[in-house]
Structure 1
Amino acid sequence: MQATARAKNLGMSARKMRLVIDQIRGRDVNEAYAILQFSKKKAARSIGKVLRSAVANAVYRADEGGETLDVDELYVREAYVDEGRTLRRWRARAYGRATPRLKRSSHVTVVVDTRD
């Protein structure tokens, strides 16, 4: 049973999110939960929410189809982060100059599936 969850416009750069998402790709769901729970990165919290949503979607799809699904059999089939919109702001600097501040965002996608 394959299920997908997405979170869009998360307020963190994709580069920082990819450090965490690379750690859970291909792992069992329970192992991924443990990795995210003990990670010191701020991105781990947002990715954990997306992972929980993907698992809930898988359970819902199984119930709709009249199948039984054991959550312990799920694993992270795909997990990737894409760049979102970039807000351009300006910061005042010395001598009346201004330098740009780029506030980046990202889109997270997690796909869970059962092992065959």
Structure 2
Amino acid sequence: MRQQPGPVRGQDGFAAVDALVAVTILSSSLALSLMAAQVGTRASRSAGETRDAELLLRERLEATAGQVGVWSGHDLGLDWRVEANIPDAGPARQAAPCVRTASAKAASGRAYRIATVDICRPEATG
């Protein structure tokens, strides 16, 4: 006897279940891929902001090298501030070690900070 094409007797609903499982797996894979792309985009944006903040703060520290004072401003979407002061002021016109701190705050709320020690002249002000 010749067998007719089509489902085997007793397996009438399995094609629909197979299709439903395949669609579920496909949609789950797509959702996970989109979430991974979103996380990657967020991490890339954060890394770029960190890079910009570090470059800006290092530049501001170099621009104020050897000076005592306070400078601030807004650049590259960051509010920045540089402070340089001599902790134990000795004679008024003598160069001394000073602590210079540069900090920035981004619109995202993240704060960045770099500090260094330098030789500053008390009479130089920014």
TM-score normalized with structure 1 length: 0.32
- Structure exhibiting the larger radius of gyration computed from Cα positions: 2
Provide the TM-score with structure 2 as the length reference.
0.30
